[in-house]
Structure 1
């Protein structure tokens, strides 16, 4: 299996928050891409690399970023021989390709013909997350049906459905539909779906089909990876693995919450994510 970390965003909200912060505590983070923010004892993305390497399930890790941050990621990757950095060629948020296009770019560039795990570069999970359990579950699904896919979900609050893609599932935890930011009255489900997907290699050719259908659509329809997932539900079997929650580093308060948790509450860094 290969891992692809989506890290081509520009973090405009977070950078704006840092620049407007009057305390000066975070001035040293100006210009730091979200995946490279220090979280606990290392960069956010380093937690993922350490966990992926420790499981032995992933044999290569690809990080797709933009031209603005490419050199910073290249310098960071010197410590990880099996990590390769891909530049999507954009320099401004207005030029961004979108997450799905970046995913396809990575698959094409590195000629990936394997199952993949896709990880949002600004996302971490709570202590109950286990990469080994998830990859074992994915292997079991593939053994039964070789075009199966696996995604995560966690229970969100009623008012939070307006912020997330919400999954509806059947009794076997197979996803039947995904509603994008629905009103709480529009679904009984509270299953939020973070950007962490295990896609079978049989799914990868559908990236071309999706983007071809959306080539004239606005960037918003191609940016969020959840849009591809919602489209994929009608074409391939997708199952859910439940977790308790996640950290989504989108602005300064969410970054502080994540970093504080890792510094003060995470009891066993050696086993985190593995």
Structure 2
């Protein structure tokens, strides 16, 4: 199994927050891509690489970034023999390809014909998350139907539905509908869906079809991974695995919360993510 970490964003919200922070406490983080931000004792993305290696299910971790941050990621990756870094060739947020196009780029460049774990490079999960558990559940689904896919879900608050993609599922926890940033009154579900997907080998070719259909659409329709997921559930079985929550390092406040949690708790999280 291959893991692909999406790290080609430019972190415009976080950069703006750092520049506007009157305390200046976080000015040293300016210019650092979100996945390389220090979270507790190590870079955010390093938590994933170490956990993925420890599971023994994943043989290679592929990181897609942009040309602007390529050197920083290559320097970071030198410590991990199982990590390969690829640039999407862009140098600014305005040029960005979008997350789905970056995912397709990695798959074609490395000629991947395997199941894939897709991870958002600015995301970590609470301490109850276990890669081994999730991968085992995916394997069980595959044994029943080799076209099955698995995504994560966590309960959000009523006033947070308009921030996320919200999944509606049946009694078997199969996703039947995904609503993008609905009002609380527009869905009874509170199942938010972060960017962590286990995609079956049979699903991978559908990336080409999705992007072909969306080639004339605005970049926003090709950027958010949830847009592909919403499209996919009409064509392939997609199931959920429930977790308690996540850290989404989208802005400075979210980064501070995440960093503080790991500074206070990391020594107790001996097998974090594994």
Normalization by structure 1: what TM-score?
Answer: 0.99
Contact 2:40–2:266 (CA under 8 A) maintained in structure 1: no
Query: 1:267 and 1:187, CA in 2 relative to 1: closer, same or farther beyond 3 A?
Result: farther
User: Which residue number in structure 2 is paired with residue 42 of structure 1?
Assistant: 42
Contact 1:248–1:254 (CA under 8 A) maintained in structure 2: yes
- 1:22 is displaced (CA, Å) by 1.9
Report the Cα distance in structure 1 between the residues aligned to 2:177 and 2:218, rounded to whole angstroms.
23
Gaps in structure 1 of 5+ consecutive residues:
none
- 1:132 is displaced (CA, Å) by 0.4
Report the Cα distance in structure 2 between the residues aligned to 1:189 and 1:30, rounded to whole angstroms.
38
User: Which residue number in structure 2 is paired with residue 150 of structure 1?
Assistant: 150
| Pairing 1:171–2:174 present | no
User: Which residue number in structure 1 is paired with residue 215 of structure 2?
Assistant: 215
| Pairing 1:72–2:72 present | yes
User: Which residue number in structure 2 is paired with residue 263 of structure 1?
Assistant: 263
Report the Cα distance in structure 1 between the residues aligned to 2:158 and 2:207, rounded to whole angstroms.
32
User: Which residue number in structure 2 is paired with residue 128 of structure 1?
Assistant: 128
- 1:267 is displaced (CA, Å) by 5.1
1:2-41 equivalences under 5 Å are: 2-41=2-41
Larger deviation: 260-269 or 112-121?
260-269
1:80-91 equivalences under 5 Å are: 80-91=80-91
Report the Cα distance in structure 1 between the residues aligned to 2:218 and 2:268, rounded to whole angstroms.
44
Report the Cα distance in structure 2 between the residues aligned to 1:191 and 1:208, rounded to whole angstroms.
28
Residue 160 of structure 1 aligns to a residue whose secondary structure is helix
| Pairing 1:238–2:255 present | no
- 1:266 is displaced (CA, Å) by 4.1
- 1:268 is displaced (CA, Å) by 2.3
| Pairing 1:100–2:100 present | yes
Residue 270 of structure 2 aligns to a residue whose secondary structure is helix
- 1:111 is displaced (CA, Å) by 0.2
Q: What is the aligned residue count?
A: 274
Report the Cα distance in structure 1 between the residues aligned to 2:129 and 2:116, rounded to whole angstroms.
18
Report the Cα distance in structure 1 between the residues aligned to 2:48 and 2:143, rounded to whole angstroms.
26
Report the Cα distance in structure 2 between the residues aligned to 1:120 and 1:83, rounded to whole angstroms.
16
Gaps in structure 2 of 5+ consecutive residues:
none
Contact 1:127–1:266 (CA under 8 A) maintained in structure 2: no
User: Which residue number in structure 1 is paired with residue 60 of structure 2?
Assistant: 60
User: Which residue number in structure 2 is paired with residue 191 of structure 1?
Assistant: 191
Residue 132 of structure 1 aligns to a residue whose secondary structure is helix
Report the Cα distance in structure 1 between the residues aligned to 2:248 and 2:232, rounded to whole angstroms.
23
- 1:269 is displaced (CA, Å) by 3.0
Residue 154 of structure 1 aligns to a residue whose secondary structure is strand
CA deviations on 1:139-168 (whole Å, 9 max, x unpaired) are 011111111000000000001000000000
Over aligned residues, Cα RMSD in angstroms?
0.7
CA deviations on 1:87-108 (whole Å, 9 max, x unpaired) are 0000000000000000000000
